Structure 1
């Protein structure tokens, strides 16, 4: 049984790694404010400041103090005004302090800059991202459980789907089963994407470009033009189901293909190509390979197979990635994208999603989440088959 809250030794190991990174970067302390960072290091969500130094941990909570005291193993103290921060930093003997610039609004950044003008402030965003890229055994267990629950939910929901349903109705059946298994109905995104549990798109309308940086498009609804819509699903057309499994704060990402009735020969041929692309990508998921190498190898394979014009493209508008990290957000670093020279390392958990956008037909492709080991990769998204034919009866 995987604990639903990170055990104290897990949190202490994360703090140890943070302190090591602070020493290596010449920083004397970290002042964390982003709720996900607070959760990552304390086990509790809060509006708070977490001050981490070589010898100190000050958990300064605005709200909800009593709940935090129940959920975190670390002492929490009330904190009501930012005006007290300079005194706390001086008391800790700090001069050079790190903040997560990437998670601060410009207004908040200027406020901290003015308030802490006697201190040298540096950006911690890259350090925190790097620490979160490597998953501990506990985190990998959470992701494994998320994959298991996702497989259970799909197994329960898919028999209820039928042609004539709208995309939204079909997705609602899947979402119902996910929520019965503890999914909050919201997927956290590190890159500004917005969706509930995922996307379900079908037929030629799935190629519709959207504002989101995602592996597929979709018509959506007015005011939210992406993903599932009120379009009815027709027999024989490809249906793409890209949904995120959840457990204890962690997300896995998975895409499967459906068709009601018999698929056309054209659909079958593109499904086979999609399988070949996934196999190529999977072979590259090993330590030492750079993130961009995975992208370029898959693009080269798409060219070899004669489908480069459809590869990760919404018509004239493409997305330059073939996968991404997962964890507390569904789209974490590193993206598998051009220019990202980050070497893959054991402990990374990555979603691989090469997809084809075929005008007049739909979006066809698969996605799985993998946990990288020193000499292998474990698939965490375990629902099978990848392509399912559902009877029209």
Structure 2
């Protein structure tokens, strides 16, 4: 049976979007949405097409493929079939000079094909406005996020220690872990908003693999399978006694994700200095989580934490070598990497119902990436952790 996004949910999202546009762009007249994640957010289905949102008229979802599936899956009230933009253009009258588009994700070729039939002159971005609406989750969205968090906690804290065995390769473990997560209820994808970013499951690493260079904009790394597929894991890197195991993966239910990193000590403990560094990262996570309250400023949370860290600790903090990221956490939702970010430059106050992954981590030469990551909901009492409370470095001896 298809689980449909409730009509009241869809209507509320559209209402909040229009309000956000009226505040940020008072002169707006029309917005058009193409990306499948945003189409799902507003319509409840992820079919190929475009959603036209006039300021003063009912929004209409024009579907190229599959119209039948859109009708089957979605409770959105205004869905029409089209073979191409020409069909939709005939029904749009009085198009304004300026159209608001997702400039972060719409390719130039698609834009040109669209403009051939919709004769507007100017484009303004609508990405930030949509992100602002999506950042505050409803109770419906939070219920799915919590469900993902329960799966995440159970798999990484309870099941994974029983799966680790000497001689297991990174890629074999990653595929076994993926199968277990899907069996437990994970929806099987990790979606990212970062341009041209692919991800199978996340970073599943043994030892030094977790600090190997990567194009991915996160603290950790991964050997990957090859230069053509720098993902999943290495066939050659096998688990050895004394290894740090670093697992940074997403988990999702009905489109909504959580993000979690758990570490393990396989066969024997890590050196005391590495354990001390890891424990410091856990303390940082907990300190930042306590500040995840409505009206808190993300940049102030970031600066408060960073200003307490000495130069020695800052070396290889949030990365390794010169490959460090400039954030402590990020929004999570239909994408693993959403706005806002716990970083400098993010000065809008937090709101109740926002969801963040906090991930203080530090690379250690010849050992790997220690640290932690969990997903939190912003509440009046601080961040509510929904992915478990195990501090990591779980011993597997």
Contact (CA 8 Å) 1:251, 1:329: kept in 2 or not?
Answer: yes
CA-to-aligned-CA distance 1:181-228 (integer Å, 9 cap, x gap): 333432100013321121111222321111111120121121223563
Q: Please, what is the CA RMSD of the aligned residues?
A: 2.1
1:27 aligns with 2:28: yes
Indicate yes or no: 2:137 matched with 1:135. yes
- The correspondence of residues 155-234 of structure 1 with structure 2, limited to 5 A, is 155-192=158-195, 193-222=197-226, 223-226=228-231, 228-230=233-235, 231-234=237-240
- The whole-number CA distance in structure 2 between the counterparts of 1:20 and 1:107 is 31
Structure 1: gaps of 5 or more residues: none
Equivalences for residues 1-393 of structure 1 within 5 A: 4-24=3-23, 25=25, 26-53=27-54, 54-74=56-76, 75-90=78-93, 96-118=98-120, 120-154=122-156, 155-192=158-195, 193-222=197-226, 223-226=228-231, 228-230=233-235, 231-263=237-269, 264-303=271-310, 306-382=312-388, 384=390, 386-391=392-397
In structure 1, how many angstroms separate the alpha carbons of the residues matched to 2:39 and 2:260?
Answer: 27
5 and 197 in structure 1: CA distance in 2 versus 1, 3 angstrom threshold: farther
CA distance in 2, matches of 1:383, 1:171: 23
Shifted more, 81-90 versus 40-49: the winner is 81-90
* 8 and 98 in structure 1: CA distance in 2 versus 1, 3 angstrom threshold: same
Distance 1:383-1:179 versus aligned 2 partners, 3 A rule: farther
Distance verdict in 2 for CA 1:117–1:259, change over 3 Å: same
Aligned residues: 387
CA contact (8 A) 1:291 1:337 kept: yes
In structure 2, the CA distance between the partners of 1:141 and 1:273, relative to structure 1 (3 Å rule), is: same
| Deviation of the 1:118 alpha carbon | 4.2
Deviations 1:227-284 (A, max 9, x none): 6323112222221111111100011000111011331323322222222221222233
How far residue 116 of structure 1 moved from its aligned partner, in angstroms, is 2.8
1:239 counterpart SS class: strand
Partners in 2 of 1:242 and 1:175 — Cα distance? 12
Point out the more displaced range, 21-30 or 215-224. Answer: 21-30
Contact 1:299 1:311 in 2 (8 A): no
Runs of 4+ in structure 1 deviating by more than 4 angstroms, as ranges, are: 93-96
Worse-matched range after superposition: 320-329 or 154-163: 154-163
Moved more, 55-64 or 78-87: 78-87
Question: Relative to structure 1, is the Cα distance of residues 205 and 97 closer, same or farther in structure 2, using a 3 angstrom cutoff?
Answer: closer
Q: How far off is 1:152 after superposition? A: 2.8
Aligned mates of 2:116, 2:68 — CA distance in 1: 31
Q: Is the 8 A contact 2:210 2:369 kept in 1?
A: yes
> What is the CA-CA distance between 1:4 and the residue it aligns to?
4.0
CA positional deviation for 1:61? 0.8
Shift of 1:96: 4.6
Q: How far 1:77 sits from its partner (Å)?
A: 1.6
Question: Using a 3 Å threshold, how does the CA distance of structure 1 residues 174 and 247 change in structure 2: closer, same or farther?
Answer: same
Displacement of 1:120: 5.0
Q: Deviations over 1:139-178 (max 9, x none)?
A: 1111000011222333234312112211222222321111
The Cα offsets for residues 75-114 of structure 1, whole Å up to 9 and x where unpaired, read as 42211121234432216x7565322222211222233344
CA distance in 2 between counterparts of 1:198 and 1:383 reads: 20
Whether contact under 8 Å (1:277, 1:301) holds in the other structure is: no
